Amino acid sequence: MSEASFVAAFGVDPRVDEGYLPELLAEAVRRQDATLVEAALSLMFAFDLLGPRYLAVLCDLLVADWHHDHEDVARALQQLADPAAVPALRHAAELDLPYREYDDVRALSRKCMWALSDIRTEEAVATLEALSHSSNNSVVRNLAAYHLAKVRNGEPPSRVSRRLRER
């Protein structure tokens, strides 16, 4: 759905009504409504509304087990690259969600590692270090070791997080 179609269909432009998306996300969390989470995230990305004001709700959603949009949430947190997300990213990197049982490559863990390596604070690097040694999952350990090496070798953060930083 295009931006114009959304505005015509719902009678609101979330760029103008700055309370619309925060209220939608709060309602999704309050009701534990997975469909509403998906809609709110789609709206956030379609209208390019991601910003620091959503950090807390995104951290909550990252570790909540009642929806299926964890990868999108992890990507949003990577874009924000806010150090406050480190604890949620660490927790999510090791989550074993029932709906992801099939995922032997641990796509959510992978996205969490990218976010941690883009954040690059002392806490984020220590988290990568800890995960590279202590995770019960070898894929998680290997992902953490890979991203830790990238940071230690001085490779720049990904373009994903740099885009928001350069705004």
One-letter-per-residue 3-state SS of 102-142: CCCCCHHHHHHHHHHHHHCCHHHHHHHHHHHHHCCCHHHHH
- Backbone phi and psi for residue 165, each to the nearest 5 degrees, phi listed first: -65, -30
Q: Distance between CA atoms of 90 and 47, rounded to whole angstroms? A: 28
**In this predicted structure, what is the pLDDT of residue 141?**
94
> Structure tokens of 10?
């719902």
Q: What is the pLDDT of residues 56-79, one digit of tens each?
A: 999 999 999 999 999 999 999 999
**In this predicted structure, what is the pLDDT of residue 117?**
96
CA-based nearest residue to 59, from 22, 20, 89: 89
Those residues whose C-beta lies under 8 Å from the C-beta of residue 66, and which sit 6 or more positions away, are 32, 34
Q: Are 58 and 76 in contact (CB under 8 A)?
A: yes
> Structure tokens of 26?
């709060």
**In this predicted structure, what is the pLDDT of residue 163?**
58
- 153, burial (CB in 10 Å: exposed 0-12, middle 13-18, buried 19+): exposed
**In this predicted structure, what is the pLDDT of residue 164?**
60
Q: Enter the pTM of the model.
A: 0.91
**In this predicted structure, what is the pLDDT of residue 31?**
97
**In this predicted structure, what is the pLDDT of residue 165?**
59
**In this predicted structure, what is the pLDDT of residue 110?**
93
| Torsion sign across C-alpha atoms 126, 129, 134, 135 | positive
Spans of the chain below 50 pLDDT: none
> Structure tokens of 116?
């941690």
